[in-house]
Structure 1
Amino acid sequence: MTIAYPLAWPAGWPRKTDAQRADARFNRKARQTVNYTGGGSMSYTSNKALTVSDGVRRVLDELARLGARPGFTVISTDVVLRLDGLPRSGQREPADPGAAVYWQDRTGAPRVMAIDRYRAVADNLAAIAATLEALRAIERHGGAQILDRAFSGFTALPAPAAARSWRDVIGVGPGERDLVAVRAAYRRRAAAAHPDRPGGSHDDMAALTAAMRQAEQELS
């Protein structure tokens, strides 16, 4: 089980430092109309900054065009979630603007793509969508086999500590079979392991995420 919040950065993917991040040029078109008091009106188009919801919509649209399996997509960020489990707009920009998208392709193969090049979550989501669109262009031009090879680099990898027992990683005893109790222990460990907390790290968070995924598979 991949978590949507907080950010579950994929194991083995390099991170950008704050100094390496840049402002993006992604935006959206907004059409506005001015009505004059004496009658008549004028319409014009302007560029607006992207919202997190804009970025989410772009990612989901591109995945749908790629044939991703419905119900198996997780958009993971440090943005608090809406009731439907997707990142919510209108919040303060988190300290970590990275975004990771996990999905299953049309064959059921797990895929992941993560970007933290830009200073805003919305822009990193838009960058993922733009990358998906570029890769999809390969398929449109008859390169389905090339596309498969390209996506082989975006396979969701296990965490570096996957060789450890998931019980050791999460911190539950060998006889614990209650999934509710395991999830509670996972949340406690995740709160301490988050990269924004003292002593936390992306590797620790990735290991916890992989361990919880294994626990779900064994206990469900």
Structure 2
Amino acid sequence: MSTEAFPLHWPEGRSRTVSWKRERAKFDVTFARARDNIVAEIGRLAGRYPDPAIVLSTNIALRRDGLPLANQRAPEDPGVAVYFLYKKRQVVFACDRWEKVEHNMQAIAKTVEALRGIARWGTGDMLEAAFTGFAALPAPAPEAWRKVFGADVKNRAQLQEAFRQLALIHHPDRGGDPSKMAEINAAREQALRELP
């Protein structure tokens, strides 16, 4: 994996929570416990598959084994991105909804725990469909969004209309392809950074 553990390597195409919209979580967990919970839950999810090659990316300095150190001053950006291999495919979970790094880590651990429940009680195809949205997509090439939305998109209003039209066709809730929808979302994020 070419993902950076420090500083935070946020996945391309994923939106961020603005700082003033972050919330206080009700998790009662220390940084070290949340870190260990993520590693344990991903290990359980991986099961019989080989090493999931976990990369826990935050704005917290790292220990010698590559995991974040506990007992550091809280960073300004509490975002967390966890990259790992699931059935030989790189996936990523990212969370910055909560005000503290350890709470974002615990939210990811709980999400992985819930997905393990789907694997246990649901069907295998449900879990595979869920993981499609967590694929660690490569960064789109500059101007790649124009290939998705067309060269005639010149402002955010036109982008929004083009996005809406494509979402009506490709959204998984409407029977569309999740990977195509992920590509459309990544292109939209790129276009929003460039358009007035």
TM-score by length of 2: 0.68
SS in structure 1 opposite 2:133? Answer: helix
User: For the residues of structure 2 that align with 1:146 and 1:76, how far apart are their CA atoms?
Assistant: 27
| Shift in Å, 1:162 | 7.5
1:17-36 paired onto structure 2 within 5 Å: 17-27=18-28
User: For the residues of structure 1 that align with 2:41 and 2:25, how far apart are their CA atoms?
Assistant: 19
| Shift in Å, 1:51 | 2.2
User: Residue by residue, what CA displacement relative to the aligned partner does 1:151-185 show, whole Å, maximum 9, x if unpaired?
Assistant: 11100011134899xxxxxxxxxxxxxxxxxxxxx
SS in structure 2 opposite 1:154? Answer: coil
Task: From 96, 116, 121, give the equivalent of 1:116.
Answer: 96
In the alignment, is the contact (CA less than 8 A) between 1:52 and 1:87 conserved in 2?
Answer: no
TM-score by length of 1: 0.61
Query: 1:77 — aligned with what?
Result: 58
User: For the residues of structure 2 that align with 1:7 and 1:159, how far apart are their CA atoms?
Assistant: 16
Which structure is larger by alpha-carbon Rg, 1 or 2? 1
User: For the residues of structure 1 that align with 2:109 and 2:50, how far apart are their CA atoms?
Assistant: 16
| Shift in Å, 1:70 | 1.4
Query: 1:94 — aligned with what?
Result: 75
Unaligned 5+ segments in structure 1 are 28-49, 165-202, 204-220
User: How many residues were matched structurally?
Assistant: 142
Runs (4+) of structure 1 moved beyond 6 Å?
none
| Shift in Å, 1:71 | 5.4
User: For the residues of structure 1 that align with 2:42 and 2:131, how far apart are their CA atoms?
Assistant: 13
Structure with more strand by fraction: 1
User: Residue by residue, what CA displacement relative to the aligned partner does 1:18-42 show, whole Å, maximum 9, x if unpaired?
Assistant: 1110111111xxxxxxxxxxxxxxx
1:51-62 paired onto structure 2 within 5 Å: 51-62=30-41
| Shift in Å, 1:111 | 0.4
User: For the residues of structure 1 that align with 2:20 and 2:10, how far apart are their CA atoms?
Assistant: 19
SS in structure 2 opposite 1:53? Answer: helix
